Chain A
Amino acid sequence: MELTDERRTEVYESLLLTRRFEEAVLEAYESGGVPELPHLSIGQEAVGVGATYALEEDDWIAPSLRTRAPILMRVPLEEVVAGMYGTRSGPSEGRTTQHHMGSTERAILGTTGMVGSHLNVAVGAGLSSRQLGNDRVSTVFFGDGATTRGEFHTALNYAAVEDLPVVFVIENNGWTEETPIGQVAAVEEDLIEFAGHDLPSSVVDGQDADEVIAATAEAAERARAGDGPTLLEMKTYRYRPHAEVIPERRDEAEIERWKARDPVTIYRDRLLEEGIVDEGWLEDADASIRADVEAAFQFAREDPLPPEEAMYQVYADVEVDRDGGVVR
């Protein structure tokens, strides 16, 4: 994939948007009000941004509970924020939270609160591409914790057996909620050792968006060429606790070590060093992204709650009343 200077500034803008958005979520949460409990991805932005950037707009994406970037890159900001507030303009009129949103138009596969159940679903999207004869690739993001579920093995195996166009992206942040992954995964070093299946796999520096883009682009190309799935393990880290209600119990030194390899800073420094942008551009970009985020929060705070009928959307083709009876 050819990364022109202009494209790389876009990558930076997406990194920064994800960062500023989540900082704003945290601020709103701490000042007393976001109905959706935040599971922030601050520190992990390069994985979602880089991988999404390497894909076509109509390639399917199935995010993990923590993959915020692809949603922000494909969905208008107001809609995402409204999805956190459970207001009328959210992706499902308040029926569900934004991080499980699905949108066929934007090629986002809806997810559930079952960590890892989306892996086989993403393989199904690859199956669909084959059946329909199109070249849409399906990319699924999931945490290290999800690799200890049977879903992981069955999804990899089936995608590999059928050569389906799927890219598996492990966002390995070292922790599955309060348990270090090393304590519950029987691998020496890397989670890709689990695979052992007949499919290419590699470990990627998840803090470097350029590395993520290169690895994902190669995997997507392989998938599109009919050569089957790839497993990518992106090493990354979340700066915040698993969810905002949970106290931080990780080692301070570990957190600091990762902060020294901050994905937004790495990219900004590189753009500056290569003379692609200057300080003035960076300041303008930041100011404009902050203003967009602020406006989206403002919008969502004023957005009305949904009407009660919004919750009776259970079937696609038949109306059912609140007591479960068919409306004739």
Chain B
Amino acid sequence: MSELTVRESINQALAEELERDERVFLYGEDVADYGGLYQVTAGLQERFGEERVFDTPLSETTLGGTAVGAALTGTRPVVEIMFGDFLAIVADHLTNYAAKMHFNYGDGTSVPLVVRTNYGAGDQFGLHHSQSPIAWFQNVPGIKLVAPSTPHDYKGLLKAAIRDDDPVIFLENKLRYETEGEVPNGGYTVPLCRSDRKREGEDVTVVAIGGMVDVALAAADRLATEGIDVEVIDPRTVVPLDKEPIFDSVRKTHRLVVVHEAATFGGFGGEIAAEVAEEALFHLDAPIERVGAPFTPVPFAENLEEAYLPDEDDVIAAVRNTLGE
């Protein structure tokens, strides 16, 4: 085991996959010589050369379109989109092409590309560099959406995503590149489409996504001091969703809180809530609680952004609500 940051664990995953599979290549804006705006790809061009790691023009259309074409024809492109907000530009190629070619071909062909991008508010980067784009794609069958929370999962899931035959959008929380955690030495993968119980508890189930897993765990620690025992489930792959562990947990705790960073209305939490309402309604002892952002763009001003972002107190209040406190 070593202690790595999220940034280091992603960098290692990329290096190991570039090493392992010569079909893998990595490209994007300023990813090569500069090492990426957030320095996630630092040193990779030097190590693997200009044919495997290279810069592109400022054109997400170029990235999206060529990645689909390359992935359809025998390579495994890993694309960096500088901010998740720019996925809106690549959305055509991701939703109409990448997501649908397996369905369209009928001979087993799919589109093994990975789009790495970041998301997340909290650094006053304003309304076009802070959005959490999960809901933009959750209703698109064919794309896998991955949002890890720990350095261990970032590394293992990214390696699995690169090996996966389907298109994957890999979402990195930009406020947590410095987060540290234990990562096993040597190659390992974490399977896509499998959730993980990050904390075991008896009283309330909290399903948290991406950067909100930390927040939920911190809330759980605080509640534990009062004897409230929270279970935290991290789906890790958001779509397609590993539902059973969530149902099982709710059947045990009888209470559900879902937490994510994007707006509550229209967000992924609503989908989890609906699934649980369909499958486990009579196991619930209290209404489901959703924690997310208000239905408004991410504001710039310091106090507004703080009010916008869901935090520990919001999770604690929601847990208490399910307990009727």
Contacts and interface: CB of A to CB of B under 8 A. Distances in A.
B109 interface: no
Given A114-B89, A184-B57, A324-B265, A314 B301 contact: no
Contact of A322 (B37, B126, B294): B294
B263 interface: yes
B301 A178 contact: no
A183 B33 CA distance: 12
A310 B128 contact: no
B61 A150 contact: yes
A323 B34 CA distance: 41
Interface in B18-65: 29-30, 33-34, 37, 55-62
A148 B297 CA distance: 28
Contacts of A306: 301, 303-304
Contacts of A97: 126, 300
A176 interface: yes
Contact of A311 (B55, B126, B128, B304): B304
Interface in B262-277: 263-266
Contacts of B304: 86, 94-95, 305-306, 308, 310-311
B127 A95 contact: yes
A145 B58 CA distance: 6
Contacts of B112: none
A35 interface: yes
Interface in B117-137: 124-129
Interface in B230-288: 263-266
A311 B58 contact: no
A223 B263 CA distance: 44
B207 to A, nearest CB: 19
Contacts of B97: none
A314 B295 contact: yes
Nearest to A309: B304
A314 B307 contact: no
Contact of B59 (A93, A113, A148): A148
Nearest to A313: B296
Contacts of A281: none
A115 B29 CA distance: 13
Interface string A314-325: 100000111111
A116 interface: yes
Interface string A178-198: 110001110000000000000
A100 B59 contact: no
B179 to A, nearest CB: 19
Interface stretch (B80-88, B159-167, B215-223, B317-325): B80-88
Nearest to B307: A308
Given A113-B85, A114-B85, A311 B295 contact: no
B226 to A, nearest CB: 28
B299 interface: yes
A87 B56 CA distance: 37
Contact of B294 (A87, A112, A185, A311): A311
A321 B57 CA distance: 41
B308 interface: yes
A120 interface: no
A296 B61 CA distance: 41
Contacts of B307: 308, 311
B182 interface: no
Interface string A75-103: 00000000000110010011111001000
A308 B296 contact: no
A95 B300 contact: yes
Contacts of B61: 149-150
B56 A184 contact: yes
